[in-house]
Amino acid sequence: MGKDRNKKNKQKNVPIQAPQGFSAEEWSHIIAKAIEEANQNRQAEANKRQTEEQKSWQQALGIKDYSGEHRPKRQVLEFFNILRAFLKLIFLPRRKIKGDRVTFSLLQMLSAMAFGIVGGILLLVALTLVAMPPIIALAGETITWWQAIWSVIWGILIFLISRLFRIASIELENIENRGYLLSIFACIVSIVSLVVALVRR
C-alpha cells in the first residue's frame, strides 16, 4: 500500500513540460486563439439554429417575402400575409410547434412591458412634481421657494430615472441571450411578488 501511494505521489509531482520549439508566449497565443475560434463557432451555431427556427416558423405560418414588389401592392400583400399568418398561428397544429421562440418572445415582451410601465409611472410622477409649484401658485395657495426648488429637483431626477427605464425596455426588446432574459424575468417576478406581499399587509 505504501509503495503504491509513493508511486502515485511521484506521478503527480512530475512537471508538465511544453513541447520544444514553442515558447510560453507562443503557447498562450495558440490557446487564446483556439478559445476565440471555439467561441466564434459556438456563436455561429447559435445564429444558424436561430435562423433555422425562424425559417421553420415562417414556413409553418406561410409568411412570404414581398420585398421585390412595388408600393402600394407590396403593402397590401404584406398586410394580408400578416393577417393570414396570425390566423394560422391561432390554430397552429401541435406537430408544427418546434423550439421555444414564442415562449422567449412572450418573456421578452412581458419584461420589456414591465420596465416600460415603471418608466411611464416615473415619468408621470416627474411631470407632476415639476408642474406642482406653478399649479399651486395659480390656485392661490402659498408655497415657499425652497419647496418649489426641491419639487423641481426631484422631478428632474425622477425624469432621468424614467428615461433609464425606457432605454432598458428598448434593450430588452432586442435581447437575444435566453439565460440573461430568464434571470431578468425572475428578478421582475420576485420584485412584483414582494410588492404584492407588502401591499396585502
What pLDDT shows up at residue 68? Answer: 66
Model confidence at 155, pLDDT cuts 50, 70, 90, reads: very high
Average pLDDT, the chain: 78
Look at residue 14 and give its three-state secondary structure.
coil
**Residue 154 corresponds to which amino acid?**
W
The answer to whether the CB of 154 falls within 8 A of the CB of 128 is no
Stated pTM of the model: 0.58
